[in-house]
Every structure is written in C-alpha cells, then in structure tokens.
C-alpha cells in the first residue's frame, strides 16, 4: 500500500501546488501573448518580446534581426505578409514565487503604441484568462484525508455527491 503523507504535510503540499500552478500560469500567459491572435503583428518582433520578471518590464529594445529584415521587405513591398514570432524570453529563466508580484510586459520601445491595438486588453479581461487561472489552479486529483483511529486507518471525504465518515474503503 502506498504511504500517505501526514496531516503535517498539508501546508507544504499546498505551497508546492500553488508554486507549480503560478509558474505554469505565468508560462501559459506568456505563450498565449506571443501569438497573432493576442498581439498586434507587423514583423512579429512585438509578439516575440514578452517577458516575465519580478520587476517592472522596461521597454528598451530596438527592432533587431531577423525582424529588421522583415520590416525592410515590407517597406519595399506593401503586399508582403511575412512575419516571424519567435519568443525571445520564453520560457522564463526562473521560477517565480507565488507570494510575490510578477510583471509580464513587453521589451520593445514602441510597446505603448502597439498596446493601442486593444488585443492584449481584451485577452487580459477575457473569460479565456479566467479559465486559464481556473484550470491552472485546479486541484489535479481528488484527495481523501486519512485519519488513524481505533480499528486502523479510516478515510473521510466525499465521492459522487455522497459524504463518507467511516473506516470503509471508498471506491475510486
């Protein structure tokens, strides 16, 4: 029989779950922002420049290769539909502590103008974002709490709408 963690492990287990969920959510939000659906795309440099950090993201980056070459081609041929989305800061270099603030921002100097498009604001305020949070912080397995008592180890919890408070095995 598999050894179950004691009640003293509840807080460390919850802490680990929150930590894992927070970092997974951070990575998923960054990945989703780096798409044409959620970021304005001309060359793809803006969509490729999302970054997560413990500090406020400073927009300092100038257009660079290969995006500079794409911009030149578009300037020469207005019908050119080329772009390249290649996230430069994904996945994040570090795991973040869920107890501290994390900033997700864009590194390009022209970010303030790109944000006028409205796609990012719609994404952040969407039901999709709500579902991302809900899905990432959802408990991944049904837990039964084991209690030692007279007659052995008992379980209590709920299963299929019924509550069990006894020492019988609950079908899983």
State the pLDDT at residue 160. 53
Given this model, what pLDDT does residue 82 score?
87
Burial (Cβ within 10 Å: 0-12, 13-18, ≥19) of residue 39: buried
Nearest-CA neighbor of 147 among 158, 160, 138, 156?
156
CA 122 to chain CA centroid, Å, is 17
pLDDT for 77 equals 86
- The per-residue DSSP string of 49-65 comes to -EEEESSPPP--BPP-T
Q: CA angle, corner 99, sides to 96 and 104, nearest 5?
A: 45
pLDDT by residue for the chain (172 residues), tens digit each?
455 656 777 788 888 888 888 999 999 999 999 999 999 898 989 999 999 999 999 999 998 889 888 899 888 888 888 898 889 988 887 788 898 999 999 999 999 898 888 889 999 898 998 999 988 888 665 444 444 444 444 444 555 555 545 444 444 4
What is the per-residue pLDDT for 48? 93
Report the pLDDT value the prediction gives residue 167, as an integer from 0 to 100. 42
CB within 8 A of 63, min separation 6: which ones?
43, 45, 71, 108
State the pLDDT at residue 30: 92
């Amino acid at each position: 029989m598999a050894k179950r963690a004691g009640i003293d492990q509840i807080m460390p287990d919850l802490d680990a779950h929150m930590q894992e969920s927070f970092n997974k959510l951070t990575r998923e939000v960054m990945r989703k922002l780096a798409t044409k659906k959620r970021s304005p795309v001309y060359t793809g440099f803006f969509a490729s420049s999302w970054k997560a950090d413990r500090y406020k993201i400073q927009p300092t980056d100038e257009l660079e290769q290969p995006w500079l070459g794409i911009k030149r081609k578009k300037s020469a041929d207005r019908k050119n539909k080329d772009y390249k989305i290649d996230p430069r800061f994904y996945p994040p270099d570090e795991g973040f502590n869920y107890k501290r603030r994390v900033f997700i921002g864009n590194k390009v100097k022209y970010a303030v103008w790109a944000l006028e498009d409205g796609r990012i604001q719609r994404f952040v305020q969407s039901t999709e974002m709500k579902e991302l949070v809900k899905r990432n912080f959802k408990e991944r397995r049904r837990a039964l709490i084991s209690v030692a008592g007279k007659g052995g180890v008992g379980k209590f919890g709920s299963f299929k709408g019924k509550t069990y408070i006894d020492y019988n095995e609950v079908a899983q």
